[in-house]
Amino acid sequence: MLSKKIEDAFNDQMIFEMYSANIYLSMATYFDAQNLTGLASWMKVQYQEEMFHATKFYNYINERGGRVIIAALDAPATDWASPLAAFENALAHEQIVTARIGKLVDLAIEEKDHASQNFLQWYVAEQVEEESNVDGVIQQIKLTEGNPGALMMLDRELGQRVFTPPAEGA
């Protein structure tokens, strides 16, 4: 059984993961409007990942006898100064998510909830990957500065990304 503090915190994180998904979907619309369909596709995959993260929280709260509460989401930004600015915003957002996951781990330790500590370790590892992936794209976009042809090639490459849900139990 989840403590009320953990239940509330996990519900809050579930909603934040949904908000994260909406940020990425908004970024996809920004890229689609610029005919950067590969970057848009990359963001749509990221949207799917974030919804998967939210669903993991949803399922865990239910499995531990908690009550899932769906709350309103804040509206995400809809425009960025450049593709680089959008990805830099994405990295800053992932760093916020990483900090939030760290606070949840701290809470699970404080509450002596070993099952929740174990559950959160997947997110700890996932956030390392999330930040690395976004930073990798940032570094690639920086290499294309002043070269629209290179940006188009990167757009084509990033469009190859697909969402593959983690194996059961992950």
> pLDDT band for position 64 (50/70/90)?
very high
DSSP state of 35: T
* pLDDT on residue 124: 98
Helix (H) or strand (E) holding 148: helix 148-158
Question: Average pLDDT in the 27-39 region?
Answer: 98
- Mean pLDDT across 32-44: 98
- Average pLDDT (159-167) is 90
Indicate if the pLDDT at residue 80 is higher than 70.
Answer: yes
Other CB atoms within 10 Å distance of the CB of residue 23 = 22
Q: What pLDDT is stored for residue 169 in this prediction?
A: 57
The proportion of the chain whose per-residue pLDDT surpasses 70, expressed as a percent, equals 98
Contact in structure between 90 and 24 (CB atoms under 8 Å): yes
Give the integer Cα–Cα distance in Å for 98 and 96. 5
113 in Cβ contact with 64 (< 8 Å): no
Q: Give domain 4-73+80-158's CATH number out of 1.10.8.10, 3.40.50.920, 1.20.1260.10, 3.40.50.300.
A: 1.20.1260.10
Domain ranges, ordered by start, for the chain? 4-73+80-158
Mean pLDDT, the chain, whole residue set: 96
- What is the rounded average pLDDT of the residues 54-63? 98
Q: Is the pLDDT of residue 95 over 60?
A: yes
pLDDT given for residue 170 in this prediction: 57
What would the pLDDT profile of 116-133 be if each residue is shown by its tens digit? 999 999 999 999 999 999
Would you say residue 113 has pLDDT above 80? yes
- The per-residue pLDDT for 167 is 77
* Residue 166: per-residue pLDDT: 83
For the CA atoms of 44, 94, 164, 27, what is the dihedral angle to 10 degrees? 0
**Distant-in-sequence, close-in-space partners of 105: CB < 8 Å, separation ≥ 6:** 117, 120, 121, 124
Q: What is the dihedral of CA 70, 94, 155, 76, to 10 degrees?
A: 40
